Amino acid sequence: MKICIQTSPNSSVVPFNYQQKLVGTIHKWLGANEIHDKISLYSFSWLLGGKKSDQQGYTFPNGAKFFVGFYNDAYLRLLIRSILSDPLMFCGLEVRDITIVDEPTFSEDAELFRLTSPIFIKRYHDESKRHKYYFFDNKESSELMTETLQHKMRIAGLPEDTTLKIEFDQSYDHKQIKMVTIHGVKSKANMCPIIIHGSPQSKLFAWTVGVGNSTGSSFGSLL
């Protein structure tokens, strides 16, 4: 299930690197529970509808909109209850409305997905003892995105989908690499639509929980 959250206008400038504040807000609403230490079967988007106010950040004169999706509906119900009792976010943003998003009807054909937050892909390499980041122009990216979603599907108890394949839409003309700083850690992520091949169930799962690494930290949200 996925919800759309609409907020009030901000009262102070929302900094460009607001993602850490958004992650903190989501975790505040979820409270203390076991999902913080597990692989994320959920995703949430960046704030939509903003305008650059100056060199410091964004303003949301009509309020912000963002999406949150959970594979386990129980956590989404917990989130909604917490929001209703504590709607304050940051920079004067306050939740004004929550709506349930209708689930798309997917087919067996390859389907295009737009992003509401960039896709983050990384792997730890034993030889170098460092993480390597992957981008839309790396041939390994498709395999790694597919591998991550397959792993999440196994954790969720879903059947294996041998037809599953995720790839960046290489025909998209406005591909970007986004630098994101969360808890002082700078990460590079991909802003480029993706194409998913596979079963309707796999596509719905991806639409809900996101694609790539760190979907629980505002990466990989799909629309």
35-72, pLDDT tens digit by residue? 766 789 999 999 999 999 877 899 999 999 999 999 99
Residue 150 phi, psi (nearest 5): -60, -40
Mean pLDDT of the chain: 95
**33 contacts 26 by C-beta, under 8 angstroms:** no
What pLDDT score does 184 carry? 86
**Residue 45: predicted pLDDT:** 98
Cα separation, 203 vs 176, in Å, equals 24
pLDDT at 130 over 90: no
Of 19-28, 73-82, 127-136, 145-154, minimum mean pLDDT range: 127-136
What are the tens digits of pLDDT across the range 65-116? Answer: 999 999 999 999 999 999 999 999 999 999 999 999 999 999 999 999 999 9
Specify the fold of 111-217. Alpha-Beta Plaits (3.30.70)
Lowest average pLDDT, out of 10-14, 52-56, 157-161, 169-173, goes to: 52-56
pTM for the model stands at 0.95
Architecture of domain 2-100: 2-Layer Sandwich (3.30)
At 168-197, the pLDDT tens digits run 999 999 999 999 998 888 999 999 999 999
For residue 109, what are the contacts with CB-CB under 8 A and spacing of at least 6? none
In the chain, domain spans: 2-100, 111-217
**Which pLDDT does position 59 carry in this prediction?**
96
User: What's residue 38's pLDDT?
Assistant: 74
CB atoms within 10 A of CB 102: 7
